Amino acid sequence: MNGVILAGLGLAVVGFGARYALRQLPNATKTFNEAMKNLPKFEESAANAKYYKGGFDQKMNRREAALILGVSPSANKTKVKDAFKKVMSVNHPDRGGSPYLASKINEAKDFLEKHSR
């Protein structure tokens, strides 16, 4: 007999809880929609703006090498080496990166080390 009463009370609690949740749902969706409107668009995000969007030149030059590694064209060998490690750790073929991009990163490092001032 006690089990039947407890089961009935449990169902009542679940029913009232569900009713409360359904009544609050319009307020929650309104708040969610307002929050989504305030989010920046993907194209406008700062993370997207820090990467070069162009293709590669036929022959490597100082500007392109600096863009690939994310350093200034007049960077010293230490900065070039640190930037190379950072970029290559993300784009290495053994970690799922593209072999072509890895070759361009290596080419950029070699070019800047060879032509550093």
Burial 95-114 (b: 16+ CB within 10 A, else e): eebeeebbebbeebbebbee
Q: What is the pLDDT of residues 71-83, one digit of tens each?
A: 998 888 999 999 9
- Helix, strand or coil, per DSSP, at residue 65: helix
Domain coordinates in residue numbering, the chain: 2-39, 52-114
Q: Which pLDDT belongs to residue 44?
A: 47
Q: Which pLDDT belongs to residue 84?
A: 93
The number of beta carbons lying within 10 Å of the beta carbon of residue 84 is 21
Tell which residue, 63, 70, 115, has the closest CA to residue 91. 70
Q: Is the model's pLDDT at 43 over the cut of 80? A: no
Q: Which pLDDT belongs to residue 45?
A: 46
Q: 52-114: CATH homologous superfamily?
A: DnaJ domain (1.10.287.110)
Confidence band, pLDDT 50/70/90 cuts, at residue 40: low
